[in-house]
Amino acid sequence: MWQVVFVIISIMFIYLFFKMKYLKFTDKVVTNIDNFINERYEKDNINKETLESKIDSKLYKLSEVVKGKSDKVNHAKVEIEQMVSDITHQVKTPISNIRMYSDTIINNDLSKEQEKEFLNVISNQVDKLEFLMDSLTKMSKLETNMIVLNKESSKFMECIEKAKEQVRPLAENKNIEIEITGENCIVSYDRKWTLEAICNILENAIKYTNQNGKIRIHLEKLESFLKIDIIDNGIGIDQENISNIFKRFFRERKVHNINGVGIGLYLSKNIIENQNGYIKVKSKVNKGTTFSVFLPL
């Protein structure tokens, strides 16, 4: 009889012992979860060879993933707010000009010459607004990954020749010569969007090169990349601004009197980087600028 009692007492003792251990363990896990939620966890505990430590390690990794996603969402929110602010600022000027000149035409008895002059100003502002909207549409598609780049293997000289032809009227208007040299390599690239990127850089070079200037495009095959140098002898970029020229809507103070909105280079950088390439810039004030585009072979 006493043996049965001993067994029952032993079982009860073991049960109570493990129950206490279990309750203590779950309380500790719950406490650790609360600490992770409130970012008060201790990293030292995650490297120990215990079950509690392994759970803490998983919780720590989970918290890092959640925090990373939260930071990404917050960063995207800030980016959207900044973009809306930038767009509002960019759109405000042409709309204000259109309103002002329209009101002047409506509320004043103008001569035919004055009316034509004001209508030309309005037309120019509409063109600027249209260009801005088109650029913003491209920018938003790139940033939201709505654009699918379809890369095809092709001789890259075709892209350069098309880009030259596309910007030819702008170059002729300033009597700027565009010279193409180098190797006609085969590269895998998206023809439409890469043409857009090259044209943006060329248009930028023409815009900031003086009358009767020269732009040289040189293609060089490297070990892993095709290097496309776009070299102008224009006004150059101040050294402190070189790291900023690819930012959305950035323009140097000294060029604010030249038409532009500061989106072209931003688009070019994104298009090239989305094809695993990159862009480097070298410049000297009043000497010229070299944009080097690298596309993987």
How many Cβ atoms from other residues are within 10 Å of residue 8's Cβ?
10
pLDDT attached to residue 126: 85
**Distance (Å, whole) CA 202 – CA 216:** 10
**Distance (Å, whole) CA 56 – CA 122:** 65
DSSP letter for 49, please: S
**Distance (Å, whole) CA 211 – CA 270:** 30
Cα(first)–Cα(last) distance of the chain, in Å? 88
3-state secondary structure of 278: strand
- Residue 63 tokens, joined: 């918290």
pLDDT attached to residue 51: 62
State pTM to two decimals. 0.65
The full set of domains in the chain, from first to last, is 41-146 (1.10.287.130), 152-296 (3.30.565.10)
Say yes or no to pLDDT of 277 above 90: yes
Cα distances (angstroms) measured from residue 127 to each of 99, 138, 198, 259, 294: 15, 17, 22, 12, 33
* pLDDT tens string 105-152: 888 887 888 888 888 888 888 887 887 777 777 777 777 676 778 889
Strand partners, 217: 180, 230
pLDDT attached to residue 230: 96
When pLDDT is averaged across residues 170-198 and rounded to a whole number, the result is 93
* pLDDT tens string 204-253: 999 989 899 999 999 999 989 999 999 999 899 888 888 888 887 777 67
pLDDT attached to residue 79: 64
